[in-house]
Amino acid sequence: MKLYSNDLSPFASRPRMAIYAKDLPVHILPPPGDLKSAEYLAINPMGKIPALVLDDGTVIPESDTIVEYLADAFPASGLRPTKPDEIARGRLIARVAELYVMASGSNLFGQMNPATRDAAVVEEGFTKLDSGLAHLNLFMTQDAYAVGDSVTTADCALVPMLMFVGVFGMVFGKGDPMARHTKVAAYWGRIQKDPAAAKVLGEMQAALKARMAG
């Protein structure tokens, strides 16, 4: 099994978190050239990363679907909790983070360059981000991980997304957007100590530094 990934992409970081946390037998590699190159489009016609390629050649795109596939393919990994209410809470966390936290982040991505920044778009982005974090806060608990006491699909969604929330706060001089969402903030403090999360975050931060420098 192969995962086409790059270190900076929050979407590609989601399955990498699952692979590292559960030591899954998946070979991680960069796409061969540009995402829109003929070579990569022959692998994933959507021209996006991540893409998981199974040993029989089946291609699975979309980070959420890839992590769900890994949970199904490796049931002993514990990537998915076992109790229905915990499964539902894990799914809610991943969905709310994607729909309401990451979606507002997508607008902020385009505003990183101060020379072309539109202050109104930034303000709207942060208003939506704050509302998304408030929604997410509803489903967080004092559990050691997002759900329970080990990494699940919910942590795989949260770690890369929250990393970018922190980056947005710094880049736009807004402080820590998570601070007033106390359960999210406490989770963020805890999860960074997990070895798999630390590995993914280290890769993302190094790639971001290189991108900003060049």
Ligand X SMILES: N[C@@H](CCC(=O)N[C@@H](CS)C(=O)NCC(=O)O)C(=O)O
Q: Which residues bind ligand X (CB under 6 A)?
A: 9, 11, 35, 47-50, 62-64
64 or 143, CB closer to ligand X?
64
Shortest distance, CB of residue 149 to ligand X, whole angstroms? 27
Distance of CA 136 to the CA centre of its chain: 14
105 or 148, CB closer to ligand X?
105
13 or 152, CB closer to ligand X?
13
Shortest distance, CB of residue 14 to ligand X, whole angstroms? 7
9 or 205, CB closer to ligand X?
9
Shortest distance, CB of residue 180 to ligand X, whole angstroms? 27
Shortest distance, CB of residue 51 to ligand X, whole angstroms? 8
- CA nearest 37: which of 28, 47, 23? 47
11 or 20, CB closer to ligand X?
11
Shortest distance, CB of residue 48 to ligand X, whole angstroms? 3
